Amino acid sequence: MKVLLRAVLFFDALLDLLLGILLLMSPFTTLYAALQLPQPQPALFGQLLGVATIGLSWLLFQATINGQLTVAVARTTGYVNLVSALLVAAWTLFLDMPVQGAGKIWLLTLAAVLVFFAIVQIPAAKKVRLRERQQADLAKADRDGGTADGYYPNNQSGAASPARPNASPASPESRREPGITPPPGYGPGTEVMPEPDPEALPTANHARQNPHS
């Protein structure tokens, strides 16, 4: 459905581009006389309308390429085409507009093409919008379900890690302090006496205690 909608937008853009070029040439009376179309008066208004029509054509071209613009542009353009077709048909058939035989055929053909575009664009835009909304809801439901189950797709940063089972606190009987072996010289029974140096001179106290040495 979206492919069909883009195709209709493309042909609508081509039609608006041709109309814009024709309106920009409003000062050329011979061209409008050859096509038997009524010339815009004053020509400035026709040229301003031509600039706006060419801008709409560019927007339609962008909507055929960018999928995010397709639905919104198609829905708006569909209503614009419908109202434009009604105005062209009313002025051509019921109101006193100076238009001859070939010009009347051109205008009625333009009105029919605009009605066709509107009939396709308005319902297709609504269907595509509903489908995209349903797909977005399903994707959101899948993400919410994965988050509730503790699964985080694509390992997104900032996601909480799965909860680990809580370890029960150790009982006093099962807790054991780590054994620490004191270094030599610390604690009772671990004193280390330095070995005497045989080359050291005897002290004065030792000489008094052994007068015969």
What confidence tens digit (pLDDT) does each residue in 158-168 have?
444 444 445 44
Asked whether the predicted pLDDT for residue 213 surpasses 50, the reply is no
Listed by start position, the domains of the chain span 2-149
Return phi, psi of residue 62, to 5°: -65, -35
Q: How many whole angstroms separate alpha carbon 109 and alpha carbon 103?
A: 10
CA neighbor of 37 nearest in space, from 14, 61, 15, 19 = 19
Tens of pLDDT, residues 164-212:
445 444 455 555 555 566 555 555 555 555 555 555 555 545 445 555 5
* C-beta separation of 110 from 53 below 8 A: no
**Is residue 109 within 8 Å of 35, Cβ to Cβ?**
no
Residue 42 DSSP symbol: S
Query: If you average pLDDT over residues 7-12, what whole number do you get?
Result: 94
**What's the pLDDT band for 140 if we cut at 50, 70, 90?**
confident
CA distance 59 to 12: 11
Cα 100 from chain centre: 52
What whole-number distance in Å separates Cα of residue 143 and Cα of residue 25?
56
H helical segments located in the chain:
2-24, 29-35, 43-65, 67-93, 101-148, 204-209
Please give the model's pTM, rounded to 2 decimal places: 0.63
Average pLDDT, the chain: 78
Of 14-23, 76-85, 147-156, the least confident: 147-156
Residue 73 predicted with pLDDT over 90: yes
Angle formed by the axes of helices 101-148 and 67-93, nearest 10°: 150
Asked whether the predicted pLDDT for residue 68 surpasses 90, the reply is no
Banded model confidence at residue 19, pLDDT cuts 50, 70, 90: very high
Given this model, what pLDDT does residue 96 score?
77
Q: For 84-109, what is the mean pLDDT?
A: 88
- How many angstroms separate the CA atoms of 10 and 123, rounded? 17
